[in-house]
Chain A
Amino acid sequence: MRAEQKRVKTFQDLILALHEYWRDQGCVIFEPYDVEKGAGTFNPATFFGCLGPDPWRVAYIEPSRRPTDGRYGENPIRLRLHHQYQVILKPPPPDIQDLYLGSLEHVGIELRDHDVKFSEDDWESPTLGAWGVGWQVWLDEMEITQFTYFQQMGGIDLDPVSVELTYGLERIAIFLQGVESAFDLNWSADVKYGEIWHEKERQFSIYNFERADVERIRKMFELAEAEARACLEAGLVFPAYDHTLHCSHLFNVLDARGAISVAERESYIARVRELARGCAKGYLKLLEERRARVLA
């Protein structure tokens, strides 16, 4: 129906187009990290990549799991698992906003025919001990990207700072394909998004909201936490970080299950943050010892 939609017709084409664009900007094209996480920010390529003085450009897709956002597959846009496209630019170039807008044009959005706004939105992840300043980017008043200048990660002030771009791929694809529900998207020319994901949304919603065994999940949290601590003591930063990610996800499941009181929430978050801080410190130590540059 619109001329501009010629280029990127499917969900996978959108991913490939972004890969292409950011590869040409000198990014390492990374993969999703194979541990469950709530956002692309938790991927080691971002968490560790933002720390330390070395320049770093990376782009990857991240399937992000947020148990509380599950809607049993009944909501057209709210999903327990959605796909983020994540870009980190350290240090950010002065024309970073133009670079970002260029990526939208590259996937076929004619900016002069639409309405793009950068609307104040400061970002914070208490579990990662991270915060930043930036915007939500709105395309015809639909939120498509979180644009953040990270200021702190793992409780450590960043210098240089990094810019994180987090594209909501389902939303952009909905826009490009002119459909109203994520499940109606064409993933490829002949497979629908819903065919891959709908039943998974339903089952995980049932699990997260109704079935997850609270006592067992609590135990799993404790075990992962203990394992993370042990790794930190042994100076094994990366295994420690994997277990930190497990903790963060298990906390999210407990939260969706309604098993965490307000008072407990603070202490759970503090426990995960403590681990994340430990990982950040351990990583900086590695950098000092010159045993690592950017490790993902």
Chain B
Amino acid sequence: MPEFLLEVGTEELPALDAPVLARALGDRLAQALREERLGFSGMEIHWTPRRLAVLVRGLAERQADLVEEVRGPAAAVGLDSTGNPTQAALGFLKKYGATPQDLKRKVVGEKEYLFLEVRTPGRPAQEVLQELIPDILRSLPCRKTMRWDSSGVAFLRPIRWLVCLLDNEILPIRYGSLTAGRITRGHRFFGPRELALNSPAEYVEKLREARVIADPRERERMIRDAAKGVEGEYGVRALWTEELLGILVGSLEWPSPVLGEFPGEFLDLPTPVIAAVLHEEGKFVPFARDGEPAPVFLGFRDGKEDEKGYVRQGYERVVRARLRDARFFFENDRKRPLAERVLDLREVVYEARLGSVWDKVQRIREICKRLVDPLGLDGEQGALLDRAAFLCKADLTTEMVREFPELAGVMGGIYARLSGEPEEVAVAIEEHLLPRTRADELPESTLGTALSLADKLDTVMGAIIVGEVPTGSRDPYGIRRAANALVSLILRKRLVVDLFGVIDAAAEFYPRIPEGKDKHTVKGFLVDRLRHVLRDDFGVPHDIVEAVLAVPRGDFLGVLERAQALASLKRDAALAELAQIFERLRNITKDHGSTAFDPGLFQKEEEQELWREYLKAEGKVRRALTERDFAGALKALLPLGRPVHRYFEKVFVMVEDERVRENRLSFLKALLSLFLEIGDLSVLAV
């Protein structure tokens, strides 16, 4: 069975985009082969910064034949009374080069028709591939496209060569100004510039000889192993981030470790500062020993080990220079206590309509005050929280944060400690930007959690109130991310807080402008983010999400817990029964307001029965709700299904007698309100 290789040779692709494009190339080729009825037994995807490649094994030599049934004239028209073909049928046969024996009869709808089975023979794979590949290349999803010549082709970075081989035969596809051949390129500095491939099978090994590791997993292993080697030898631990690893794998064709050291005099810099310097400048891997920074780092040169040691010298010089800068910033920043910097925030614009960062800090403090009671903080904690809120943005004026924006918050904590602020305050500042995204780590301390909540709520609320509601992919203020992080914080930290109450209480601190939105838009926006987080991060099924969000609530954790209660009982037959009558209950009471009823006016046995069950259930439900036992509340509601069914069977609600009718409606409305304490059960797919 033939093998097929497609390699797209490029100038250096952005490190984190190359894997996305390589996967897309594989997916699209596989899909196209299936659509074209070209079977294959396996597919390998390889990529480096300079190439995307897909290797197809066991490819069919030809497409499978296509067999289609084609409908001709109706049997009554196509055949005469003796069953012989008429002119109409003969024309049909001629068109497909068939004979009368090939005709089949088949009933479609009310009528019988003549059919032919038409077989289109499969075309050779090489022919089909040559048509497919340019379209596949054109369809690759680039984050941003560019042009590099006047051929009209656009891609993420210039495409400079194409290899397209079916076994040892070139498929000379054309794309832009290129024609595919068998020539690939080796490593930029340590391989041959041009390298002829005889067949797809030798791709990986030939490139290895040319100093290129085509398989990204192998490169990742090499990088991790190098770091492990350092860990073992020095008794240290590598400070990895996903991004750092991704960038290294994505920017090297042959990772060659270069170990560097920096002078111990820099070790008095805080670990996050040293890590930021090393991560930023050329993507070095930092190490730590027992939480303290270690004076070694690992860089990766592309291609070959650093025999002469020049690369190491260069790396060390760059790192020294940057650490010297960082120490300069650190020493300058420490000359003023953090609290003194807060006033400078008046000069730092946050947003034209929302004022300076100082104004933002004042709003955060107001929100924090409104979180003291809900979060059960005592007076002393409340005062510490206010102090932390007062100081939390002061580090924006430091040189260190201007140079390394990702250290915002972290530096605030460090400088707060150095300024003699209480430890709780320092920790809260340090943690107040966590989680940055919904998957990020959470603040550990209570005060850090409260401050984070207040900061994020202000960000979201401020932007929306001045009219910056994100639409589509447009979200200039990053509100979606902030709101997702806020929702995630509440749910993952299991915070019992009525967000709507806090929003209402804080609304007065925001400007009112004509094109702005109100606090209801803020609530609606947050509920919508809650919907996404419930579905994507907590795996709550769509119908349950909609059921629990039918009644908007500011207690987001309660919404999650209701959803989990519903999910745990989803298979319960009683729940299905309730879901079935729910809509009727809701519709019949739609225009009715009151829930005050008089049992004395009940006439039917079924009314009495439902009332008794209702009373039993209501007590249990209310008790369970105060204890936040939502599963308990739901279980208490389940026995109502049967009597409600019987009620609707036997009791006619809309009677002539107005008093009886209104009373029945009020009773049903009360019943509905009780159900809605959990959610709108009618949307459940049970």
Q: A118-B12, A122-B144, A133-B144 are in contact. Are A91 and B315 (CB under 8 A)?
A: no
Interface-lining segment among A27-35, A134-142, A288-296? A134-142
Q: B160 within 8 Å of A by Cβ?
A: yes
Determine which of B146, B311, B314 lies in contact with A133 in the assembled complex, contact meaning CB atoms within 8 Å: B146
**A110: nearest chain-B partner, CB-CB:** B310
Q: A286 within 8 Å of B by Cβ?
A: no
Q: A216 within 8 Å of B by Cβ?
A: no
Residues of B within 8 A of A161 (CB): 146-149
Residues of A within 8 A of B315 (CB): 115, 140-141
Determine which of A91, A92, A115 lies in contact with B311 in the assembled complex, contact meaning CB atoms within 8 Å: A115
- Are A133 and B301 touching (Cβ within 8 A)? no
- Are B160 and A151 touching (Cβ within 8 A)? no
Q: B157 within 8 Å of A by Cβ?
A: yes
Residues of A within 8 A of B282 (CB): 117, 138, 141-142
Least Cβ distance of B73 to chain A in Å? 56
Q: B11 within 8 Å of A by Cβ?
A: yes
Q: B568 within 8 Å of A by Cβ?
A: no
Highest count of chain A CB atoms <10 Å: which of B12, B315, B349 = B12
Q: A97-B11, A122-B144, A140-B318 are in contact. Are A91 and B149 (CB under 8 A)?
A: yes
Q: A118-B12, A120-B14, A258-B347 are in contact. Are A141 and B318 (CB under 8 A)?
A: yes
Determine which of A94, A114, A151, A159 lies in contact with B314 in the assembled complex, contact meaning CB atoms within 8 Å: A114
Q: B325 within 8 Å of A by Cβ?
A: yes
- Are B310 and A118 touching (Cβ within 8 A)? no
Query: Chain B contact residues: over half helix, strand or loop, or mixed?
Result: loop
B35-50 residues with Cβ-Cβ distance < 8 A to A are: 49
- Are A133 and B157 touching (Cβ within 8 A)? yes
Residues of B within 8 A of A190 (CB): none
Highest count of chain B CB atoms <10 Å: which of A92, A114, A122, A160 = A114
Q: A114-B311, A118-B12 are in contact. Are A92 and B318 (CB under 8 A)?
A: no
Least Cβ distance of A222 to chain B in Å? 22
Q: B308 within 8 Å of A by Cβ?
A: yes
**B158: nearest chain-A partner, CB-CB:** A149
Q: B281 within 8 Å of A by Cβ?
A: yes
Q: A77 within 8 Å of B by Cβ?
A: yes
A119 to B300, CA, bound (A): 14
Determine which of A115, A138, A139, A180 lies in contact with B321 in the assembled complex, contact meaning CB atoms within 8 Å: A180
Residues of A within 8 A of B189 (CB): 111-112, 116
- Are A142 and B314 touching (Cβ within 8 A)? yes
- Are A114 and B310 touching (Cβ within 8 A)? yes
Q: How many residues of A contact B (CB 8 A)?
A: 39
A85-138 residues with Cβ-Cβ distance < 8 A to B are: 91-92, 94, 97, 101, 111-120, 122, 132-133, 135, 138
Residues of A within 8 A of B160 (CB): 94
Determine which of A77, A91, A117, A118 lies in contact with B11 in the assembled complex, contact meaning CB atoms within 8 Å: A118
Over the window 285-316 of chain B, the binary record of Cβ atoms lying under 8 Å from chain A Cβ atoms (1 yes, 0 no) is 00000000000000101101010101101110
Residues of B within 8 A of A159 (CB): 147, 150
A151 to B299, CA, bound (A): 33
- Are A149 and B321 touching (Cβ within 8 A)? no
**A111: nearest chain-B partner, CB-CB:** B189
Residues of A within 8 A of B149 (CB): 91-92, 94, 160-161
**B282: nearest chain-A partner, CB-CB:** A141
Determine which of B14, B147, B313, B352 lies in contact with A263 in the assembled complex, contact meaning CB atoms within 8 Å: B352
Residues of B within 8 A of A117 (CB): 12, 251, 282, 302
**A160: nearest chain-B partner, CB-CB:** B150
Least Cβ distance of A233 to chain B in Å? 32
Residues of A within 8 A of B302 (CB): 115-117
- Are A263 and B311 touching (Cβ within 8 A)? no
Q: A234 within 8 Å of B by Cβ?
A: no
Over the window 239-261 of chain A, the binary record of Cβ atoms lying under 8 Å from chain B Cβ atoms (1 yes, 0 no) is 00000000000000000001001
- Are B349 and A262 touching (Cβ within 8 A)? yes
Q: B245 within 8 Å of A by Cβ?
A: no
- Are A139 and B352 touching (Cβ within 8 A)? no
Least Cβ distance of B178 to chain A in Å? 9
- Are B349 and A140 touching (Cβ within 8 A)? no
Residues of A within 8 A of B188 (CB): 101, 116
Q: A115-B311, A159-B150 are in contact. Are A180 and B317 (CB under 8 A)?
A: yes
Least Cβ distance of B186 to chain A in Å? 13
Q: B140 within 8 Å of A by Cβ?
A: no
B107-161 residues with Cβ-Cβ distance < 8 A to A are: 144, 146-150, 157-158, 160
Least Cβ distance of A244 to chain B in Å? 26
**A135: nearest chain-B partner, CB-CB:** B12
A77 to B325, CA, bound (A): 10
Residues of A within 8 A of B234 (CB): none
**B15: nearest chain-A partner, CB-CB:** A120
- Are A141 and B314 touching (Cβ within 8 A)? yes
A114 to B317, CA, bound (A): 14
A111 to B302, CA, bound (A): 11
A258 to B281, CA, bound (A): 28
Residues of B within 8 A of A91 (CB): 149-150
A2 to B299, CA, bound (A): 22
- Are A113 and B308 touching (Cβ within 8 A)? yes
Over the window 1-29 of chain B, the binary record of Cβ atoms lying under 8 Å from chain A Cβ atoms (1 yes, 0 no) is 00000000001111101000000000000
A151 to B149, CA, bound (A): 11
- Are B352 and A140 touching (Cβ within 8 A)? no
A113 to B188, CA, bound (A): 13
Residues of A within 8 A of B318 (CB): 140-142
Q: B509 within 8 Å of A by Cβ?
A: no
Q: B96 within 8 Å of A by Cβ?
A: no
Least Cβ distance of B546 to chain A in Å? 41
Residues of B within 8 A of A142 (CB): 282, 314, 317-318
Q: A76-B321, A159-B150, A161-B147 are in contact. Are A139 and B349 (CB under 8 A)?
A: no
A261 to B349, CA, bound (A): 7
- Are A262 and B352 touching (Cβ within 8 A)? yes
Q: B190 within 8 Å of A by Cβ?
A: yes
A158-217 residues with Cβ-Cβ distance < 8 A to B are: 159-161, 175, 180
Residues of A within 8 A of B158 (CB): 149
Least Cβ distance of A279 to chain B in Å? 23
**A112: nearest chain-B partner, CB-CB:** B189
Least Cβ distance of B317 to chain A in Å? 7
- Are B321 and A141 touching (Cβ within 8 A)? no
- Are B314 and A115 touching (Cβ within 8 A)? yes
Least Cβ distance of B470 to chain A in Å? 20
Over the window 316-346 of chain B, the binary record of Cβ atoms lying under 8 Å from chain A Cβ atoms (1 yes, 0 no) is 0110110011000000000000000000000
Residues of B within 8 A of A135 (CB): 12
A63 to B360, CA, bound (A): 41
Residues of B within 8 A of A138 (CB): 282
Over the window 262-283 of chain A, the binary record of Cβ atoms lying under 8 Å from chain B Cβ atoms (1 yes, 0 no) is 1100000000000000000000
A2 to B310, CA, bound (A): 9
A120 to B146, CA, bound (A): 13
Least Cβ distance of B312 to chain A in Å? 9
A175 to B146, CA, bound (A): 32
- Are A77 and B321 touching (Cβ within 8 A)? yes
Residues of A within 8 A of B284 (CB): 141
Least Cβ distance of A166 to chain B in Å? 17
Q: A76-B321, A141-B315 are in contact. Are A263 and B12 (CB under 8 A)?
A: no
A179 to B271, CA, bound (A): 28
Q: A149-B146, A180-B321 are in contact. List 19 more A-B contacts (CB 8 A).
A: A76-B321, A77-B321, A91-B149, A92-B149, A94-B160, A112-B190, A113-B308, A115-B299, A116-B188, A119-B15, A120-B14, A140-B310, A140-B313, A140-B315, A140-B318, A141-B281, A142-B282, A161-B146, A263-B349
List 11 A-B residue pairs with CB atoms under 8 Å apart, sorted by A's residue number.
Answer: A92-B148, A94-B149, A113-B311, A115-B311, A116-B302, A117-B282, A117-B302, A135-B12, A141-B318, A261-B349, A262-B351
A-B interface, 3 closest residue pairs, ranked by CB to CB distance from nearest: A140-B314, A141-B282, A120-B14
B residues within 8 Å of A by Cβ? Answer: 11-15, 17, 49, 144, 146-150, 157-158, 160, 188-190, 251, 258, 281-284, 299, 301-302, 304, 306, 308, 310-311, 313-315, 317-318, 320-321, 324-325, 347, 349, 351-352
